[in-house]
C-alpha cells in the first residue's frame, strides 16, 4: 500500500469529520441554522431544530474522527480498514438519504450536497482498494557464477 497516500486520505477524512463534529457538538444551533456556511442552509430546511439530535450527530462525527485519525497515525492495517469501512457506511447512508430528499434545495445546492457527500465515501473506497492489495514481494535474485 502507498503509505503516504493512505495517510493523506485518512487525514482528509478525519478533518472532514472533525469540522462537522466540533461545529455540531459545540454550537448545535449555529450548525442547524448555518451549515455549510457561505449563506447556505442545508440542515434547517429539513425539519425543526432538535438540539439533542444535532449534538448527537456532532458527537458521533467526533467519534469517527478519533478512529480515523488513529488509523492515519498508526497505519495499522486492521484499524485502517475498519475506519474506512465506518466512513463508507456512514457516508454512504448519509448520501442515500440526501439523494432522496433534494426537493427543498435549489439545483445548485442539490448538486453541491451530493458532490460533497459523495467525496468522503469515494475517497474511502479508493483507500480501501489500495489497502486491499497485497504488498509486492521481492523475488530473490538467482545467484549466477561470476566469470573471470
Q: What is the pLDDT along the chain (148 residues), one digit of tens a residue?
A: 699 999 999 999 999 999 999 999 999 999 999 999 999 999 998 889 999 999 999 999 999 999 999 999 999 999 999 999 999 999 999 999 999 999 989 999 999 999 999 999 999 999 999 998 666 666 666 666 555 5
CA distance linking residue 1 with residue 133, whole number of Å: 7
pTM (two decimals)? 0.84
Rg (CA), the chain: 21
What range defines the domain where residue 32 resides? 3-132
**137 domain residue, yes or no:** no
CA distance linking residue 81 with residue 68, whole number of Å: 10
Q: How many domains does the chain have?
A: 1
Sign of the CA dihedral with 51 first, then 54, 59, and 62 last:
negative
Q: Report the b/e string of 74-105 with b at 16+ CB within 10 A.
A: eeeeebbeebbebbbebbbeebeebeeeeeeb
CA distance linking residue 138 with residue 68, whole number of Å: 31
**147 domain residue, yes or no:** no
**148 domain residue, yes or no:** no
Contact indicator for 58, 24 with CB cutoff of 8 Å: yes
pLDDT of residue 144: 61
pLDDT of residue 136: 60
pLDDT of residue 59: 97
**141 domain residue, yes or no:** no
**142 domain residue, yes or no:** no
Amino acid at each position: 500500500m502507498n503509505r503516504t497516500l493512505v495517510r493523506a486520505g485518512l487525514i482528509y477524512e478525519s478533518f472532514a469529520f472533525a469540522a462537522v463534529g466540533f461545529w455540531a457538538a459545540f454550537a448545535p444551533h449555529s450548525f442547524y441554522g448555518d451549515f455549510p456556511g457561505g449563506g447556505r442552509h442545508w440542515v434547517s430546511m429539513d425539519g425543526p431544530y432538535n438540539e439533542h439530535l444535532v449534538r448527537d450527530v456532532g458527537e458521533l462525527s467526533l467519534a469517527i474522527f478519533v478512529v480515523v485519525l488513529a488509523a492515519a497515525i498508526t497505519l495499522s492495517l486492521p484499524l485502517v480498514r475498519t475506519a474506512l469501512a465506518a466512513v463508507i457506511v456512514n457516508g454512504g447512508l448519509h448520501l442515500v438519504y440526501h439523494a432522496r430528499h433534494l426537493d427543498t434545495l435549489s439545483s445548485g445546492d442539490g448538486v453541491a450536497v451530493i458532490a460533497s457527500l459523495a467525496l468522503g465515501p469515494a475517497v474511502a473506497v479508493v483507500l480501501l482498494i489500495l489497502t486491499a492489495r497485497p504488498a509486492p514481494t521481492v523475488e530473490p535474485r538467482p545467484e549466477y557464477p561470476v566469470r573471470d
